[in-house]
């Protein structure tokens, strides 16, 4: 099932799996954190996570066939282990959060389970409450869906008439509302109807939109880059598709069809914006020599799809060979080779399947995710189910453990290396599943009480926060999410955010508690927990009241 650009097919697969297989243990694997669900809902799944660790997705129950029903959009604050429900549009019964940007804006879809006419939505937080905004529909339309959102809060998607080919791309912002794309090149039929934006990575932070210029009747009209500031086409390439743009907008990945009579003979290309940002230069990414059973034949001018591109030009994608006679026929008698998922960097294609431990059996799914540094989260499917993997860009990929069962799946990876998705929470059944965050555990994260002072009814504790990590990584997005003294919660508003902490350095924070009744010299237990880019932390210390 596809809900606009970012699908939740993986979560559906989690819900419908029958037989489970244990993920391969690894000392290097990231630690899993259970993000929980809401009362009245059995399951949850995280669809996206931003650099600070804020995750978004949905909570849901399943029907008799194992598929999600009555979904409700949810958000997990950085370090939180329980979700907060996002409000529904009036008159709608279901919702799903699919994108979150660096400032915490959320985009997704509200739906009505009776009529199944979705409307694109944006959720914003004012510091106290969440508010939902329906993005509406283009003229004569009754459905709209989100395909992507950038750091500025611009949203792209499609709007049209339910059960009809009458669909058009749109761009939305809080000032101008929903607008159709304008000033598009003419197609072979004389007129161009719209841009079909690329899914998930179709808009850059500076407002460039990429996709496919579509003529009436959905005739293919070529790859396109469109500037939302000038509302003009920047570059257009007939017979191709632009499928991903980097966050800064300096790289666009797509494919082109050199021979319009052979649709499946596709060439990968990379558009690079010149330093003066006046034009894009097209580069053919090349085709490795034919080598059946490796990434070579997949890229040998056949069916290729880039899905994401980074600011330094790394491309994530997948492909297949429709005429690979060395492959056994599939269930329909075709001899096309299996999908292969790869990363292109510095002239080299890396097949993700080659990064798995020796003896691993299964098919790497085409839905994979890459962050700014080139780290990739992906999923392996075999007869036992799904197992997520994480590749840091240089070493072998490592399996990510599920929470308590044996089934898990990744849906996003942020620039801090955290992975978001879902995994089973019981050992003997694939359901229920809970949203899951995987992150590195700090080798040392010390919260030490340095000074104490008792004032009238208030105990102020100054804590020196020292963060060290074997890899020398910076601890970004440090947040205290829970704190208690002798079982009493802090009066200081939580979560409490700290600045970036260099390994070995320290920062001082203050937590206020009600100190009435605490005798001088008494020992009480101080508990503090939270999260940072290096992972989750928890500490329990004995404090002596001065």
Domains and CATH numbers, the chain: 9-439 (2.130.10.120), 444-544 (2.60.40.10)
Contact 119/137 with Cβ under 8 angstroms? yes
Evaluate whether 4 touches 156 at the Cβ level (below 8 Å): no
Going by pLDDT thresholds of 50, 70 and 90, the confidence category of residue 26 is very low
Pairing of strands 458-468, 143-149: unpaired
3-state helix, strand, coil in the chain (%, to 5): 5, 50, 50
At 538 the pLDDT is: 64
pLDDT above 80 for 220? no
Tell me how far apart the alpha carbons of residues 140 and 119 are, in angstroms, rounded to a whole number: 14
| Confidence check: pLDDT of 480 > 60 | yes
Q: Quick one: what percent of the chain has pLDDT higher than 70?
A: 72
Place of tokens 């691993």: 360
Q: Mean pLDDT over residues 167-171, rounded? A: 90
3-state secondary structure string, 458-490? EEEEEEEEEEECCCCCCECCCEEEEEEECCEEC
Top pLDDT among 148 and 462 is at 148
Both tokens assigned to 166? 């009458």
Q: What b-and-e string marks burial along 330-340, b requiring 16 or more CB atoms within 10 Å of the CB? A: eeeeeebbeeb
The number of helix segments (H) and strand segments (E) in the chain equals 2, 41
Average pLDDT (256-285) is: 78
Most confident of 142-151, 314-323, 398-407: 142-151
- Name residue 509's beta-bridge partners: 463
Among the residue ranges 293-302, 388-397, 516-525, 531-540, the one predicted with the least confidence is 293-302
pLDDT above 70 for 291: no
Which of the residue ranges 42-51, 331-340, 354-363 would you say has the lowest mean pLDDT?
Answer: 331-340
Q: Say what the alpha-carbon torsion angle 407, 410, 416, 417 is, to the nearest 10 degrees.
A: 60
Are 69 and 60 spatial neighbours (Cβ–Cβ below 8 Å)? Answer: yes
- Asked whether the predicted pLDDT for residue 478 surpasses 70, the reply is yes
- Among the residue ranges 14-28, 365-379, 380-394, 445-459, the one predicted with the least confidence is 14-28
* ∠ CA 316-318-323, rounded to 5°: 155
Tens of pLDDT, residue by residue over 122-166, are 999 998 899 999 999 998 889 999 999 999 999 999 998 876 667
More confident residue, 534 or 544: 544
Name, in order, each residue with C-beta under 8 angstroms of 394's C-beta and a sequence gap of 6 or more: none
Q: Enumerate the β-bridge partners of residue 195.
A: 213
Residue 289, φ and ψ in degrees, nearest 5? -60, 150
Q: Report pTM.
A: 0.77
Contact (Cβ atoms closer than 8 angstroms) between residue 122 and residue 155:
yes
DSSP letter assigned to residue 10: H
Q: What is the mean pLDDT of residues 339-344?
A: 86
Q: Is 322 left (phi over 0), alpha (psi -120 to 50) or beta?
A: alpha
At 78-103, the pLDDT tens digits run 878 899 999 999 999 999 999 999 99
Joined tokens for residue 150: 């950038």
Non-local CB neighbours of 353 within 8 Å, separated by 6+ positions: 340, 341, 364
Q: How confident is the model at residue 460 (pLDDT cuts 50, 70, 90)?
A: low
Q: What single DSSP character describes residue 402?
A: -
Q: What is the DSSP letter of 286?
A: -
Chain length of the chain: 546
Q: pLDDT averaged over the chain?
A: 78
Span 100-114, average pLDDT: 90
Separation of alpha carbons 265 and 325, rounded Å:
16
Which has the higher per-residue pLDDT, 185 or 107?
107
Beta bridge partners of 59: 44, 72
Contact 449, 441 (CB under 8 A): no
Q: What is the mean pLDDT of residues 366-384?
A: 91
Report pLDDT for 437: 92
Calpha distance 480→508 (Å, rounded) = 12
CA angle 345, 316, 295 (to 5 degrees): 75
Q: How confident is the model at residue 187 (pLDDT cuts 50, 70, 90)?
A: low
Burial class of residue 160 (count of CB atoms within 10 Å of its CB; 0-12, 13-18, 19+) = buried
């Amino acid at each position: 099932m596809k809900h606009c650009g970012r699908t939740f097919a993986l979560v559906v697969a989690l819900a419908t799996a029958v037989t489970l297989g244990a993920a391969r243990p690894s000392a290097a694997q990231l630690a899993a954190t259970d993000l929980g669900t809401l009362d009245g809902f059995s399951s949850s799944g995280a669809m996206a996570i931003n650099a600070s660790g804020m995750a978004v997705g949905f909570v849901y129950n399943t029907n008799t066939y194992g598929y999600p029903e009555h979904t409700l959009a949810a958000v997990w604050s950085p370090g939180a282990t329980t979700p907060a429900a996002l409000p529904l549009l009036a008159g709608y019964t279901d919702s799903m959060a699919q994108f979150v940007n660096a400032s915490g804006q959320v985009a997704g879809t509200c739906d009505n389970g009776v009529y199944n006419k979705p409307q694109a939505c944006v959720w914003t937080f004012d510091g106290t409450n969440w508010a939902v905004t329906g993005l509406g529909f283009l003229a004569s339309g009754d459905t709209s869906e989100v395909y992507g959102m950038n750091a500025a809060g611009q949203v792209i998607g499609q709007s049209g008439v339910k059960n009809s080919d009458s669909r058009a791309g749109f761009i939305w912002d809080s000032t101008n509302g929903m607008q159709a794309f304008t000033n598009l090149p003419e197609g072979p039929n004389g007129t161009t109807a719209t841009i079909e934006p690329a899914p998930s990575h179709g808009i850059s932070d500076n407002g460039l939109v990429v996709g496919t210029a579509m003529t009436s009747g959905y005739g293919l009209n070529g790859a396109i880059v469109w500037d939302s500031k000038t509302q003009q086409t920047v570059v257009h390439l007939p017979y191709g598709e632009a499928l991903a743009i980097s966050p800064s907008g300096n790289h666009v990945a797509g494919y082109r069809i050199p021979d319009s009579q052979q649709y499946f003979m596709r060439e990968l290309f990379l558009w690079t914006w010149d330093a003066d940002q006046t034009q894009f230069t097209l580069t053919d990414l090349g085709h490795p020599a034919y080598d059946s059973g490796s990434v070579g034949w997949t890229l040998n001018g056949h069916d290729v799809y880039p899905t994401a591109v980074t600011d330094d030009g790394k491309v994530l994608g997948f492909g297949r060979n429709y005429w690979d006679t060395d492959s056994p026929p599939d269930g329909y008698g075709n001899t096309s080779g299996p999908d292969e998922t790869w990363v292109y960097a510095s002239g080299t294609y890396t097949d993700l399947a080659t990064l798995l431990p020796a003896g691993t059996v299964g098919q790497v799914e085409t839905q994979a995710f890459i962050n700014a540094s080139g780290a990739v989260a992906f999923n392996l499917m075999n007869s036992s189910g799904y197992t997520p993997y994480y590749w840091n860009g240089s070493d072998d990929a490592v399996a990510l453990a599920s929470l308590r069962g044996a089934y898990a799946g990744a849906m996003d990876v942020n620039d801090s290396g955290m992975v978001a998705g879902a995994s089973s929470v019981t050992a003997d059944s694939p359901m229920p599943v809970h949203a899951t965050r995987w992150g590195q555990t700090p080798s040392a994260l010390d919260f030490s009480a340095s000074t104490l002072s008792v004032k009238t009814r208030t105990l102020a504790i100054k804590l020196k926060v020292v963060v060290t990590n074997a890899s020398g990584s910076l601890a970004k997005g440090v947040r205290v999410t829970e704190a208690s003294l002798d079982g009493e919660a802090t009066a200081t508003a939580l979560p409490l955010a700290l600045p970036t902490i260099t390994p070995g350095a320290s920062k001082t924070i203050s937590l206020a508690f009600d100190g009435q009744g605490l005798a001088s010299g008494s020992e009480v237990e101080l508990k503090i927990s939270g999260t940072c880019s290096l992972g989750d932390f928890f500490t329990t210390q004995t404090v002596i009241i001065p």
